[in-house]
Structure 1
Amino acid sequence: MRVSSLIAPLFCGLALAGTCPYADKAENARSACPYASKARSDASGSSSSFVPRGMPIEGKKGVMLMNRIAPVVSKLYVSNLDGTDARLLLGNETTFDYHAQWSPDGEWITFTSERAGDGQSDLYRVRPNGTDLQPISTTPHVEGAGVISPNGSLVAFAGTLENHKSNIWIKNLETGAQWNVTNTTEVAGNWTLPDGHFRPAWSPDGNWLLFSSDRNTPWRGHNNVSGWEHTQELSIYAIRPDGSDFRRVANKTGYCLGSPKFSPDGNRVVFYEVTTELTYYARVSEPDFYDVNTAIVSVDFATGKDRVVHSSADSGGIKIFPQYVDNTTIGYLVKSILTNDTYPGSINFTTASGKGSVKSKYNTPLVGRYRSPSWSPDGTKMVYEHVEWDPVRAIDKKVYSWNEDWEYRFTDVFPALSKGGRVAYTSQQTENSSLVLMNPDGTGKTDIFDGSRFPALTTATNTNGTFQASWRGDGEVLAVGLGDWFEYRYYSPGWVYLVSANGTWTHKLTNGSTNAGFPTISPDGRWVVWREFSYQSEQVEALGLRRMDLKTGEVKALTWEWDNTPMFAPDGSNRLVFTRRTSWPIAGPLDDNYDVMTMDVDGSNLKRLTTLACNDAHATWTPDAKITWASGMYGFQDEAMIYDNNQQPYPFIMQMDADGSNMEILTESRWEDTMPLYVSNDIWTASK
């Protein structure tokens, strides 16, 4: 028994429903919120923080709540080259639109839109004046990065149609015929590894397509020890529109080469270049973001040689989306951290020769709210997107549903449902990482355990606070963790608490000698299981899962592995599902695999349910004892470098039987989707 984390045996019977004997020790004092910079003004549950779900969903089984990390606003603008006379491309037709590109004749602009629903990426085209809006590809899969051929008859795009991995597709705009040029015997890589194909670009004569791909590269984490979030290693490839003559144009081991474009004469290919490791830090809001510099490079298309560095990786920030604006000039975006308080990017130019200076009209960078720019064929216009992240999605906001039996809606992280129909979640995105309860229709929102009560115990970021609440079967008590999580777990403590559902008392189960957190309480209230890390040793040390008997106070080590997010099955079987790092010991960034495991509460009957080296995690039980989880098996849906504020822009929400069989996809977006929770119509009705 490991007793260092135990505060006091709970002989008093907290496992039973009733009045808490620790009420006189209740920790109810409030103080200033340590997450003030992240907190929203809608903490009271105003209309800006949640959208009431209303009546049970007619024609559906109910609602599936889920979390998504993605912007809330994305609008396309067209402007002059110097940024003047900017106007909304789609005017009153604007929805959530992004990644626009001009056709070679300047007659069309293709773009990706989520007008079918939040998270559903479809492909459209429109005239530069905003008229004649037309769908190109609108399936339930991811479609984007569309580019029209020089003769105007074809469009190439990246899409997950067919096998849920991103491939290059071509569609005949006149006949509607459509074909895949990369998921073929000649091109497709090892299916168990990354095998995405992104960002197609036509040659000026229409005889070739360029694209970037991570085919046959290893699953690779980043070097912050945990390795959970993937990096991306891309090379540049070319192929004929009929799928023939596939070849690699440019590659650099340990680097990511992306967003290729042809020169006007078709002889050269320009792209951005960055070390593979930095493809993580270039897409997250962390201090290391500002240390990332990329290069703008071109090579000879025929040979892949005659390398020219147009802008060095020694300085200059994150340079992406390079494009020949004219025969002598290359334009590109430099992105900074995207917030509403700072300018998110600037448009810059460099010479196509790699020598000398640009023309005077390109001398001054355009600083503003720019993302994914594309220049018109004559070089006089620019289309770009304006993106915002605040305010975050409202709790209960309807999003796109990939399953017709359920209406999908947004919620904050770690949602959990009591048998009586109360929803608990951590307000990481919407407020200040407190434990919040609400009714299943979105009403009755109450903050019952605010991490800001303990400013000395947690750091001032929204990645810390009260995480992963778990309901006791009677709905009167929850277990929850309070502390510093994620990378902070290596040098800060965490605690496991019991909390009354009415918010009148809390009781600390662990003493902070370890980073203990992410607890689950058994439906009968006897057991609490949590994960532990040591934060006092020089090396990161995973201590595994701990189990407390609330009748006796005994603590037992169930595992000594890198285990996380345990959850008891709701059927009373005392079966646990959890995530384990199966790459052990850690020798480098390739040892980054996580899998979904199950075992009994006594540590026996251990089973590994997922086996690919792609990361499978965030596993939870459904009411009918199936398992949902987030899987990276289908890889990135786009180039990692172009994302903002997105640690893992690739997982699909999946579901399987308790033995690992009958896997199915529940979401298929280009964003980070996790943490589903089913709220059936009968639960809603019973809670009224």
Structure 2
Amino acid sequence: AYFSVIEKAAFLTNEVNPQNPRLQDWSAIGADLLIVGRYRTIRKSIQIEVRVFDVYWAKQIMGKRALGELKQLRFIIHRIDNEIIKTLTGAPGIFTTKIAFVSNITGHKEIYISDYDGFNIKQITFYKSITLFPRFSPDGKKLLYSTYKSKSTGPVLYLKNLETGAEKLISARNGINIGGSWSPDGKSIAVTLSIRGNPDIYLMDTNGKILKRLTRYWGIDSNPCFSPDGKKIVFVSNRSGSPQIYIHDLETGNEERLTFEGRYNSDPAWSSRNRIAYACMLDGNFDICTINPDGTDMKRLTDSPGNDEAPCWSPDGRYILFTSNRTGRYQLYIMTANGENQTRITSLRGDQTSPCWSP
């Protein structure tokens, strides 16, 4: 999404001096940037050197040297990639981020974590039950999720420290305790509870203490997600008859319906660039759509033969992670914020659902 790579057949030379390349050779074939890299191995270590040149201005704009163990090669490359993106855009890249998702490859719905592109998958929960809705804390060190691990109760809300492995029960109130979403400052959680019989959204602290009841309608209110500034939440409600997307102002309590196209809209996610993605049913299947928080500029990003659901934004707001059964079982896909370059990143047994992107 960042680069359009020039085919090697167009190169005027295949030999490049990493410290002083002939930039006119690259300007002649229409290149804007030249990225040159070299490496050497030292026993079990590797040293990588990368330089980025602005071809138009004929100058080096970045130089980076990294040394590490060969077994860390993938991580080293991703760190360098992040530096390249930061040099060009001013914001860090996504290459060292993680994703969490639910998979039933063991026969049970458990939570797994992997690199952003689906590599290095690691199982996180081992409840042999149903575990849903993983959500990273704003610092990326904790994971919030709901689980049916206790067969005598409904879903309860847990918090897991990803560094120590310690688990903490947050909410096990009567009824459901699902869909926890972190506030941007990491101090509070929005969650759906049915302690009064009807599923409503509540605000609680990270110890599970209820701070405020946010919704009070007869319908089902669920799937809350905070705005980037933490002043609003977007959520799903069937108060109008079918599930639709609404926005709740945390300061005034005012609520407004956001979506009017599609008979079933769910799974809202609010990006750092102030755009809302959601699963929309327009033609019988779910697709991924995006919309502005004021209800304008609704765009349909996918149109596959299957269902595309549960969108989740990358921390920089440039990419969307989602799950789709377009090839049979549900697998994870990544695309750009405008719907281009839809790429499958998992090929596991069973279904991979409910994805979440780390900071």
Aligning the two structures, in what range does the TM-score lie when normalised by the shorter sequence?
0.5 to 0.7
Residues 67-106 of structure 1: pairs in structure 2 closer than 5 A: 67-72=102-107
Aligned position for 1:267: none
Aligned position for 2:247: 547
Letter in 2 for 1:548: H
Aligned position for 2:267: 565
Aligned position for 2:220: 515
SS of aligned partner of 2:340: coil
* Structure 1 residues 600 and 448: CA distance shift in structure 2, 3 A: same
Alignment partners' CA distance in 2, 1:442 and 1:652: 29
Asked whether the equivalents of residues 402 and 668 of structure 1 are also in contact (C-alpha less than 8 Å), the reply is no
Aligned position for 2:202: 497
Aligned position for 2:190: 479
Asked whether 1:414 is paired with 2:133, we answer yes
Asked whether the equivalents of residues 656 and 664 of structure 1 are also in contact (C-alpha less than 8 Å), the reply is yes
TM-score scaled to structure 1, two decimals? 0.35
Identity between Structure 1 and Structure 2 (%): 25
Letter in 2 for 1:655: I
* Structure 1 residues 433 and 543: CA distance shift in structure 2, 3 A: closer
* Structure 1 residues 566 and 498: CA distance shift in structure 2, 3 A: same
Structure 1: segments with no counterpart, 5+ residues: 1-56, 73-388, 459-464, 485-491, 536-540, 584-590, 636-649, 684-688
* Structure 1 residue 404 displacement after superposition: 7.3
* Structure 1 residue 558 displacement after superposition: 1.0
Alignment partners' CA distance in 2, 1:658 and 1:402: 16
Residues 608-687 of structure 1: pairs in structure 2 closer than 5 A: 608-625=300-317, 626-635=319-328, 650-679=329-358
Q: With a CA cutoff of 8 Å and minimum separation of 6, indicate the structure with the bigger relative contact order.
A: 1
Alignment partners' CA distance in 2, 1:404 and 1:496: 32
* Structure 1 residue 405 displacement after superposition: 5.3
SS of aligned partner of 1:611: coil
Letter in 2 for 1:439: N
SS of aligned partner of 2:238: strand
Asked whether the equivalents of residues 291 and 297 of structure 2 are also in contact (C-alpha less than 8 Å), the reply is yes
Q: Which of the numbers 159, 167, 170 marks the counterpart of 1:445?
A: 167
* Structure 1 residues 548 and 427: CA distance shift in structure 2, 3 A: closer
Asked whether 1:531 is paired with 2:240, we answer no
* Structure 1 residues 442 and 419: CA distance shift in structure 2, 3 A: same
Query: C-alpha deviations, 1:449-484, integer Å up to 9, x for none?
Result: 22xx23xxx3xxxxxx22222111100011122249
Query: C-alpha deviations, 1:69-126, integer Å up to 9, x for none?
Result: 2445xxxxxxxxxxxxxxxxxxxxxxxxxxxxxxxxxxxxxxxxxxxxxxxxxxxxxx
* Structure 1 residue 628 displacement after superposition: 0.7
TM-score scaled to structure 2, two decimals? 0.64
Alignment partners' CA distance in 2, 1:404 and 1:428: 23
Asked whether 1:574 is paired with 2:285, we answer no
* Structure 1 residues 595 and 403: CA distance shift in structure 2, 3 A: closer
* Structure 1 residues 522 and 403: CA distance shift in structure 2, 3 A: closer
* Structure 1 residues 402 and 480: CA distance shift in structure 2, 3 A: closer
Letter in 2 for 1:563: N
* Structure 1 residues 69 and 472: CA distance shift in structure 2, 3 A: same
SS of aligned partner of 1:654: strand
Asked whether the equivalents of residues 105 and 348 of structure 2 are also in contact (C-alpha less than 8 Å), the reply is no
Q: Which of the numbers 140, 156, 177 marks the counterpart of 1:434?
A: 156
Residues 393-404 of structure 1: pairs in structure 2 closer than 5 A: 403=117
Asked whether the equivalents of residues 520 and 566 of structure 1 are also in contact (C-alpha less than 8 Å), the reply is yes
Q: Provide the aligned C-alpha RMSD in A.
A: 2.8
* Structure 1 residues 422 and 503: CA distance shift in structure 2, 3 A: farther
Residues 113-512 of structure 1: pairs in structure 2 closer than 5 A: 403=117, 406-410=120-124, 412-431=131-150, 432-441=154-163, 443-450=165-172, 453-454=173-174, 458=175, 465-483=176-194, 493-512=198-217
Aligned position for 1:160: none
Letter in 1 for 2:351: E
Asked whether the equivalents of residues 244 and 265 of structure 2 are also in contact (C-alpha less than 8 Å), the reply is yes
Aligned position for 2:8: none
* Structure 1 residues 424 and 553: CA distance shift in structure 2, 3 A: same
* Structure 1 residue 433 displacement after superposition: 1.8
Alignment partners' CA distance in 2, 1:554 and 1:64: 33
Asked whether the equivalents of residues 478 and 501 of structure 1 are also in contact (C-alpha less than 8 Å), the reply is yes
Asked whether the equivalents of residues 63 and 678 of structure 1 are also in contact (C-alpha less than 8 Å), the reply is yes
SS of aligned partner of 1:511: coil
* Structure 1 residue 63 displacement after superposition: 4.5
Alignment partners' CA distance in 2, 1:656 and 1:442: 33
User: Paired residues, what number?
Assistant: 256
* Structure 1 residues 428 and 404: CA distance shift in structure 2, 3 A: closer
Asked whether the equivalents of residues 531 and 565 of structure 1 are also in contact (C-alpha less than 8 Å), the reply is yes
Asked whether the equivalents of residues 496 and 508 of structure 1 are also in contact (C-alpha less than 8 Å), the reply is yes
Structure 2: segments with no counterpart, 5+ residues: 1-70, 76-95, 126-130
Asked whether the equivalents of residues 134 and 146 of structure 2 are also in contact (C-alpha less than 8 Å), the reply is no
Alignment partners' CA distance in 1, 2:227 and 2:334: 22
* Structure 1 residue 413 displacement after superposition: 1.8
* Structure 1 residue 580 displacement after superposition: 1.0
Alignment partners' CA distance in 2, 1:422 and 1:483: 28
